[in-house]
Amino acid sequence: MVILRDILKDPQINGVLYGGVVRDFFVLETDAHDIDIWFTSLPKKDRFVEKLRTAGVEIKASQFGIHKKFYPFTVSQIIVKFPNGHLYFVDLVVSGNYPVNDFDVNDLIWDGTVKHYTGNQEKANQVMRAISKKTMTMKPGYVPVLKGDHADTSPYVVRIEKFKKRGWFIVE
């Protein structure tokens, strides 16, 4: 994470880790399944990718411009191999707004320290307490996504089942 921290802190990049990597790696201290990084502009994301390569991080594969249904932004996904040999799927999100609409436990960011995306420390503390209890609350806009057409085969419903199998309690 040192490589990521140093690159993300570059004022010409100014990206932050968010979502599951913060929840799982920094708060629960378990391995993260993937890494989500939020940028506010496309040039910042592009600089980040170039700096990764310069830092010796191998980009194994990439898909640019993936648009995920129900998300108001486009995701670029890369698979990276860090110098220590670890492989991660990395979602690079460009959005003018915080790109989370699913669960409160994904409202934390990391830019060298864990905090709430709004900067409100009390909210960060509340979210970290919920994470420590493995309890997540669904955001209001996410409920229709789960109850809509093809809900039984939706990848979002499958995602909820994976959380439940990992011991999470989900509040609607």
For the record, the structure tokens of 172 come out as 């609607």
Within a domain: residue 79?
yes
Split into its structural domains, the chain has a count of 1
What is the C-alpha separation between 124 and 115, in angstroms, rounded?
5
Structural domain for 26, as ranges:
2-132
| Per-residue model confidence (pLDDT) at position 6 | 87
Dihedral of CA 101/102/103/106: which sign? negative
Dihedral of CA 99/73/1/168: which sign? positive
| Per-residue model confidence (pLDDT) at position 20 | 92
Within a domain: residue 171?
no
What is the C-alpha separation between 36 and 4, in angstroms, rounded?
11
Model confidence over 139-168: pLDDT tens digits?
Answer: 887 776 666 655 555 667 778 888 999 999
Within a domain: residue 141?
no
- Answer left, alpha or beta for residue 29, where phi above 0 means left and psi between -120 and 50 means alpha: left
Within a domain: residue 122?
yes
Which CATH number does the domain housing residue 59 bear?
A: 3.30.460
Within a domain: residue 57?
yes
Within a domain: residue 104?
yes
Name the strand (E) or helix (H) holding 65. Answer: strand 58-67
95 contacts: CB under 8 Å, gap ≥ 6: 38, 39, 40, 72, 73
Within a domain: residue 74?
yes
Confidence of residue 58 (pLDDT cuts 50, 70, 90): confident
